[in-house]
Amino acid sequence: MSASPSPDELFETFWKQTTSLWDIQVKTWRSWMDIQAAASPEPMKQWLQAQQQVWDQWSDMLQGSIGQADPLGRATEPLGRVVEENLRSALKVLSQSTGRMAARLEAANPQALMSIWEGLAREYQRDLAALPQKLKPTRVEDLTRLARELATASPSPEARRYLERFVETMRVKGVQGAEHYVDPSQVAVAPTRRELVLEVGSLQLYRYRAAQDAEHQPGRPPVLLIYSIINRAWILDLVPGFSIIAYLLEQGIDVYLAEWKPAEPGCQDTLDDFVDPWLHSAVGHIQRTSRFERVGLFGYCIGGTLATIYAACHPEVVQSLITLTTPIASSNSGILELLVNPALFPLDEVIETNRGVVPGKVLRHSIMAIKPYLEVLKWKAYYENLDNDQVMYLFEPIDRWANDNPDLPGEVFRSFVHEIYEDDRLAHGQTTIHGKLVDLSQITCPLLNLVAEDDWIVPHAAAMRLSGLVGAEDVRTEVIPGPHVGIVMDPRTRYAWELMANFIKEHRESSCAS
């Protein structure tokens, strides 16, 4: 008689079957998309309208049905009414959202929309395939041992620390929200010394100094780090040992950072403002203080897009360009494209409702909704490592960063969406800054384009496109293992930091300006 399969074997079999079914679903969507390639969005619109009717019918069926079927149900009728009200409220939201999607589909490109859905389906498929490996190694024995220790009169310091952190996490979640694990006020970040050297519009320019330097050392090649407009820039200076900024300083580079103020209601910032005068003023300040005629640029995510646009507008002052996980063109896949698709995300309504800003929490919660299982994996990793100071050393600041979501300038984000994702205007040389076309072929400085292999926010196609659009002869494209944020803090990608530092030093000016 054969032995019964273990729980791990059953789990793995279940996921293999799930991923197989998902693959069939993806292929079905692909075939349907091909059929619809030359068709109008009417079929999908009709399907959405039919789905809206289903939500409404379910809501009607629920009315008065909970707590009426049996004596036990009648005894719990007050609770039943609460459940019924919550369910009907959720169905109402689904109905309204589905109706809005159907209405917006009138102006949608069905082929592009289906490509986005297909890309997302592929993401799910890859995640599903990886889940067994991520979920299997659960430290049940260690957790049981800690629980037994806590039940004794004198638990070990390890067990006591585990309990204290667990209780604190529950408190934080109750006060800050379910996505939070740590009190942000209790987590130290951004350890490297810096000073604010320029403030113009919404740009704040900081200059960093290595710990061993009493003052800035002359003759070091300057680089301007241009951060994204999403979350906080201190992900580049997280904690000691996990700071790109500190590493570049150690390599003898003069590091400046362009950081953006959080947007406030009534914000009227534009993409033109960000590029010129704000970034141009920052570069001018660096030229004067460093005494170099040209400055290296290093842009992360949307900051890389801004750096690219600036380099095309002012090639005469850019010594070299590094782009890290930078969206340049549409790829009809990836989370950002899903979030900004007008058929799915009413960006104009969001900006108008919030008086010129895009709430940072809208993007945070949207990403959580698209991949909710990542939150489950995060909880598992936290729960298993509460007693591990080494893991918590990095987990806590990353959690603070992920949940520190300042509001975005609405007009800048809208321009970014239109120029990059909706019309591919930047890639086709149609974007304008102060009325002048942005021609990426004008970028003749050396380019290092770093792409994250497992980036589901800015996919390969969206980031790699830049390498073939610039006019530079020295173009290097490197695919780095890991996800979107991993390159800036994962020790396994530390060699990418070496690539950046060496690239900056290799292409420094031969001498300072007199």
Q: Which amino acid is at 8?
A: D
- Residue 486 CA, chain-centre distance (Å), reads 11
Count of other CB atoms within 10 angstroms of residue 497: 16
CB 326 within 8 A of CB 297: no
The domain 194-362+386-506 is placed in CATH, from the list 3.40.50.1820, 3.40.50.300, 3.60.20.30, 3.20.20.80, at: 3.40.50.1820
Q: What is the SS3 assignment for 357?
A: strand
In which residue are the tokens 């197989």 written? 20
CA distances from 225 to 111, 294, 374 (A): 37, 14, 29
pLDDT at 465: 93
- How many residues in total does the chain contain? 514
Is the pLDDT reported for residue 73 higher than 70? no
CB 204 within 8 A of CB 259: yes
| Average pLDDT over every residue of 275-280 | 98
Identify the helix (H) or strand (E) that includes residue 447: strand 447-452
Is the pLDDT reported for residue 338 higher than 50? yes
Nearest to 512 by CA among 216, 314, 315, 289: 289
In which residue are the tokens 């019924």 written? 84
Using 50, 70 and 90 to split pLDDT, how confident is the model at 75? very low
From CA 412, how far away is CA 433, in angstroms rounded? 12
Nearest to 272 by CA among 433, 437, 395: 433
CA distances from 102 to 46, 89, 191, 239, 274 (A): 8, 20, 49, 46, 35
Q: What is the SS3 assignment for 365?
A: helix
Instruction: Tell me which of 139-153, 165-179, 248-262, 283-297 is least confident.
Output: 139-153
Quick one: tokens of 187?
């987590």
- Residue 219 CA, chain-centre distance (Å), reads 36
Q: What is the SS3 assignment for 216?
A: coil
Q: Which amino acid is at 419?
A: E
Q: How confident is the prediction for the chain on average, in pLDDT?
A: 82
Nearest to 396 by CA among 411, 378, 371: 378
| Average pLDDT over every residue of 141-155 | 73
Percentage with pLDDT > 90 across the chain: 47
Nearest to 359 by CA among 299, 298, 409: 409
In which residue are the tokens 């580049």 written? 236
pLDDT at 94: 62
From CA 294, how far away is CA 3, in angstroms rounded? 71
Using 50, 70 and 90 to split pLDDT, how confident is the model at 119? low
Classify residue 241 as left (phi > 0), alpha (psi -120 to 50) or beta. Answer: left
pLDDT at 262: 96
What pLDDT, in 10s, does the model give residues 178-218?
Answer: 899 999 999 999 999 999 999 999 999 999 998 777 677 78
CB 15 within 8 A of CB 128: yes
Residues 6+ apart with CB under 8 A from 378: 181
From CA 332, how far away is CA 412, in angstroms rounded? 21
From CA 31, how far away is CA 314, in angstroms rounded? 46
Angle separating helix axes 389-402 and 373-384, nearest 10 degrees: 150
Global confidence as pTM: 0.79
Q: Which amino acid is at 74?
A: R
pLDDT at 69: 47
CB 293 within 8 A of CB 317: yes
pLDDT at 76: 43
Nearest to 305 by CA among 332, 336, 284: 336
Give the residues across from 223 on adjacent strands: 255, 296
Q: What is the SS3 assignment for 457?
A: coil
Nearest to 406 by CA among 103, 130, 204: 204
Q: Which amino acid is at 29?
A: W
| Average pLDDT over every residue of 141-147 | 69
Quick one: tokens of 55?
């939500």
What pLDDT, in 10s, does the model give residues 218-242?
Answer: 889 999 999 999 999 999 999 999 9
Using 50, 70 and 90 to split pLDDT, how confident is the model at 435? very high
| Average pLDDT over every residue of 257-274 | 97
Quick one: tokens of 197?
């050297």
From CA 138, how far away is CA 148, in angstroms rounded? 18
From CA 324, how far away is CA 433, in angstroms rounded? 23
Antiparallel, parallel or unpaired: β 222-226 and 295-300:
parallel
Is the pLDDT reported for residue 270 higher than 70? yes
Helices (H) and strands (E) in the chain, counts: 19, 14
In which residue are the tokens 């999607």 written? 101
